[in-house]
Amino acid sequence: MSDSAETAAVTPPRERRAVFRRAFVDSLPVLMGYTTMGFVAGVLLAAKGGVALSPLWGFLTSSLWVTGTMSIAGVPEIARRAPVCAFALMTLAVNFRYAFYGFSMLKRWQNVPLLQKAYLVLMLTDENYALEASCPVKNPARNLEYCKLLSVLNHSYWVVGVTVGAAVVCLLGKLVDPDVIRRGTDGMEFSMAALFIVILTDQICRKK
Protein backbone atom coordinates (compact mmCIF):
# COMPACT_ATOMS: atom_id res chain seq x y z
CA MET A 1 0.00 0.00 0.00
CA SER A 2 1.33 3.46 -0.86
CA ASP A 3 1.98 6.07 1.83
CA SER A 4 -0.88 8.25 0.59
CA ALA A 5 -3.36 5.37 0.62
CA GLU A 6 -2.16 4.24 4.02
CA THR A 7 -2.42 7.76 5.40
CA ALA A 8 -5.96 8.08 4.11
CA ALA A 9 -7.01 4.76 5.61
CA VAL A 10 -9.17 4.80 8.72
CA THR A 11 -7.30 3.78 11.86
CA PRO A 12 -9.05 0.87 13.64
CA PRO A 13 -10.61 1.79 17.02
CA ARG A 14 -8.21 -0.40 19.02
CA GLU A 15 -5.17 1.14 17.37
CA ARG A 16 -6.67 4.60 17.75
CA ARG A 17 -7.05 4.06 21.50
CA ALA A 18 -3.42 2.98 21.70
CA VAL A 19 -2.32 6.06 19.77
CA PHE A 20 -4.47 8.27 22.03
CA ARG A 21 -2.87 6.79 25.14
CA ARG A 22 0.56 7.45 23.69
CA ALA A 23 -0.33 11.03 22.73
CA PHE A 24 -1.90 11.71 26.14
CA VAL A 25 1.09 10.38 28.08
CA ASP A 26 3.48 12.36 25.88
CA SER A 27 1.37 15.50 26.40
CA LEU A 28 1.45 15.38 30.22
CA PRO A 29 4.57 17.58 30.56
CA VAL A 30 2.95 20.03 28.15
CA LEU A 31 -0.20 19.93 30.30
CA MET A 32 1.79 21.18 33.28
CA GLY A 33 3.47 23.93 31.27
CA TYR A 34 0.53 25.11 29.20
CA THR A 35 -1.99 25.30 32.04
CA THR A 36 0.52 27.20 34.20
CA MET A 37 1.69 29.64 31.53
CA GLY A 38 -1.83 29.93 30.14
CA PHE A 39 -3.10 30.81 33.62
CA VAL A 40 -0.49 33.58 33.86
CA ALA A 41 -1.46 34.88 30.41
CA GLY A 42 -5.15 34.88 31.38
CA VAL A 43 -4.44 36.68 34.67
CA LEU A 44 -2.43 39.38 32.92
CA LEU A 45 -5.06 39.80 30.20
CA ALA A 46 -7.82 40.30 32.79
CA ALA A 47 -5.78 42.39 35.24
CA LYS A 48 -3.88 44.64 32.83
CA GLY A 49 -5.43 44.24 29.39
CA GLY A 50 -8.31 46.59 30.08
CA VAL A 51 -10.83 44.47 28.16
CA ALA A 52 -14.43 43.77 29.09
CA LEU A 53 -15.53 40.14 29.44
CA SER A 54 -11.90 39.03 29.75
CA PRO A 55 -12.75 35.30 30.20
CA LEU A 56 -14.54 35.39 26.84
CA TRP A 57 -11.61 37.19 25.23
CA GLY A 58 -9.23 34.77 26.89
CA PHE A 59 -11.15 31.83 25.44
CA LEU A 60 -11.33 33.36 21.95
CA THR A 61 -7.69 34.42 21.76
CA SER A 62 -6.36 31.14 23.16
CA SER A 63 -8.57 29.20 20.75
CA LEU A 64 -7.23 31.08 17.73
CA TRP A 65 -3.55 31.32 18.59
CA VAL A 66 -1.28 29.31 20.86
CA THR A 67 1.75 31.40 21.77
CA GLY A 68 2.84 31.98 25.32
CA THR A 69 5.36 34.66 24.44
CA MET A 70 2.91 36.78 22.48
CA SER A 71 0.02 36.21 24.88
CA ILE A 72 2.10 37.73 27.68
CA ALA A 73 4.14 40.30 25.73
CA GLY A 74 1.03 41.47 23.88
CA VAL A 75 -0.92 42.49 27.00
CA PRO A 76 0.60 46.01 27.16
CA GLU A 77 -0.20 46.46 23.47
CA ILE A 78 -3.80 45.43 24.11
CA ALA A 79 -4.02 47.78 27.09
CA ARG A 80 -2.87 50.78 25.06
CA ARG A 81 -5.10 49.77 22.12
CA ALA A 82 -2.22 49.45 19.67
CA PRO A 83 -3.15 49.58 15.97
CA VAL A 84 -3.99 46.20 14.47
CA CYS A 85 -1.18 46.46 11.89
CA ALA A 86 1.42 47.13 14.62
CA PHE A 87 0.11 44.24 16.70
CA ALA A 88 0.16 41.93 13.66
CA LEU A 89 3.75 42.95 12.85
CA MET A 90 4.82 42.28 16.43
CA THR A 91 3.14 38.88 16.33
CA LEU A 92 4.89 38.01 13.07
CA ALA A 93 8.28 39.01 14.46
CA VAL A 94 7.83 37.06 17.70
CA ASN A 95 6.45 33.89 16.08
CA PHE A 96 8.35 33.83 12.79
CA ARG A 97 10.32 30.74 13.83
CA TYR A 98 7.14 28.66 13.74
CA ALA A 99 7.08 28.98 9.94
CA PHE A 100 10.20 26.83 9.71
CA TYR A 101 8.52 24.15 11.83
CA GLY A 102 5.66 24.06 9.33
CA PHE A 103 7.97 23.83 6.30
CA SER A 104 9.79 20.85 7.80
CA MET A 105 6.54 18.93 8.32
CA LEU A 106 4.83 19.65 4.99
CA LYS A 107 6.31 16.61 3.27
CA ARG A 108 5.02 14.33 6.01
CA TRP A 109 1.56 15.88 5.71
CA GLN A 110 1.44 16.37 1.95
CA ASN A 111 -1.61 14.11 1.48
CA VAL A 112 -3.55 15.46 4.45
CA PRO A 113 -6.76 17.46 3.70
CA LEU A 114 -6.17 21.22 3.63
CA LEU A 115 -8.12 22.16 6.79
CA GLN A 116 -6.48 19.42 8.85
CA LYS A 117 -3.06 20.42 7.52
CA ALA A 118 -3.74 24.08 8.37
CA TYR A 119 -4.68 23.16 11.93
CA LEU A 120 -1.64 20.92 12.37
CA VAL A 121 0.67 23.69 11.14
CA LEU A 122 -1.08 26.29 13.31
CA MET A 123 -0.50 24.11 16.38
CA LEU A 124 3.23 23.66 15.73
CA THR A 125 4.47 25.27 18.92
CA ASP A 126 7.93 24.46 20.25
CA GLU A 127 6.54 21.64 22.40
CA ASN A 128 4.29 20.16 19.72
CA TYR A 129 7.04 20.22 17.13
CA ALA A 130 9.51 18.52 19.46
CA LEU A 131 7.06 15.70 20.20
CA GLU A 132 5.79 15.27 16.64
CA ALA A 133 9.22 15.42 15.00
CA SER A 134 10.56 12.73 17.36
CA CYS A 135 7.41 10.58 17.29
CA PRO A 136 8.51 6.91 17.08
CA VAL A 137 5.27 5.87 15.33
CA LYS A 138 6.39 5.23 11.75
CA ASN A 139 3.12 4.04 10.21
CA PRO A 140 1.81 7.11 8.28
CA ALA A 141 -1.82 6.67 9.33
CA ARG A 142 -1.02 6.22 13.01
CA ASN A 143 1.59 8.98 12.91
CA LEU A 144 -0.98 11.40 11.52
CA GLU A 145 -3.49 10.30 14.16
CA TYR A 146 -0.85 10.90 16.85
CA CYS A 147 -0.11 14.40 15.55
CA LYS A 148 -3.80 15.36 15.41
CA LEU A 149 -4.57 14.03 18.88
CA LEU A 150 -1.48 15.67 20.36
CA SER A 151 -2.41 18.99 18.78
CA VAL A 152 -5.97 18.86 20.12
CA LEU A 153 -4.83 17.85 23.62
CA ASN A 154 -2.16 20.53 23.91
CA HIS A 155 -4.47 23.14 22.42
CA SER A 156 -7.14 22.31 25.00
CA TYR A 157 -4.62 22.68 27.84
CA TRP A 158 -3.74 26.17 26.67
CA VAL A 159 -7.38 27.24 26.24
CA VAL A 160 -8.27 26.01 29.74
CA GLY A 161 -5.25 27.72 31.32
CA VAL A 162 -5.91 31.13 29.75
CA THR A 163 -9.68 31.05 30.31
CA VAL A 164 -9.41 29.96 33.94
CA GLY A 165 -6.76 32.60 34.66
CA ALA A 166 -8.96 35.36 33.27
CA ALA A 167 -12.04 34.01 35.08
CA VAL A 168 -10.23 33.91 38.44
CA VAL A 169 -9.25 37.58 38.13
CA CYS A 170 -12.82 38.50 37.19
CA LEU A 171 -14.15 36.73 40.27
CA LEU A 172 -11.52 38.31 42.50
CA GLY A 173 -12.39 41.70 41.02
CA LYS A 174 -15.80 41.44 42.66
CA LEU A 175 -14.17 40.98 46.08
CA VAL A 176 -10.92 42.94 45.84
CA ASP A 177 -10.06 46.37 44.50
CA PRO A 178 -8.94 45.89 40.85
CA ASP A 179 -5.98 48.23 41.49
CA VAL A 180 -4.77 45.84 44.18
CA ILE A 181 -4.99 42.96 41.71
CA ARG A 182 -3.08 44.93 39.08
CA ARG A 183 -0.31 45.74 41.53
CA GLY A 184 -0.27 42.14 42.70
CA THR A 185 0.42 40.90 39.18
CA ASP A 186 3.46 43.13 38.68
CA GLY A 187 6.41 40.96 37.66
CA MET A 188 4.34 38.08 36.30
CA GLU A 189 5.45 39.12 32.82
CA PHE A 190 8.85 37.72 33.72
CA SER A 191 7.43 34.19 34.02
CA MET A 192 8.05 33.37 30.34
CA ALA A 193 11.64 34.62 30.49
CA ALA A 194 12.11 32.64 33.72
CA LEU A 195 10.85 29.50 32.00
CA PHE A 196 13.36 29.88 29.18
CA ILE A 197 16.18 30.48 31.69
CA VAL A 198 15.25 27.30 33.57
CA ILE A 199 15.16 25.28 30.32
CA LEU A 200 18.53 26.71 29.21
CA THR A 201 20.10 25.98 32.59
CA ASP A 202 18.77 22.43 32.53
CA GLN A 203 20.18 21.84 29.04
CA ILE A 204 23.59 23.21 30.07
CA CYS A 205 23.65 20.97 33.16
CA ARG A 206 22.74 17.93 31.07
CA LYS A 207 25.53 18.70 28.59
CA LYS A 208 28.05 18.90 31.40
How far from each other are the two terminal CA atoms of the chain, in whole angstroms?
46
Domain tally, the chain: 1
Domain span at residue 103 reads: 3-207
What percentage of the chain reaches a pLDDT higher than 90? Answer: 17
pLDDT value, residue 193: 64
CB neighbours of residue 34 within 10 Å: 27
Quote the CA–CA distance of 37 and 106 in Å, as a whole number.
Answer: 29
Q: Is the model's pLDDT at 3 over the cut of 60?
A: no
Q: What is the mean pLDDT of residues 31-51?
A: 87
pLDDT of residue 205: 75
21 CB contacts (<8 Å, ≥6 apart)?
none
**pLDDT level of residue 8 (50, 70, 90 thresholds):** very low
Q: For the segment 88-143, what is each residue's pLDDT rounded down to a tens digit?
A: 888 888 788 888 888 888 888 888 899 999 899 888 888 888 888 888 778 888 88
Kindly give, in sequence order, each residue whose CB lies less than 8 Å from that of residue 98, ignoring residues fewer than 6 positions away: 124, 125
pLDDT category of residue 5 using cuts at 50, 70 and 90: very low
Q: What's the rounded mean pLDDT across residues 165-173?
A: 88
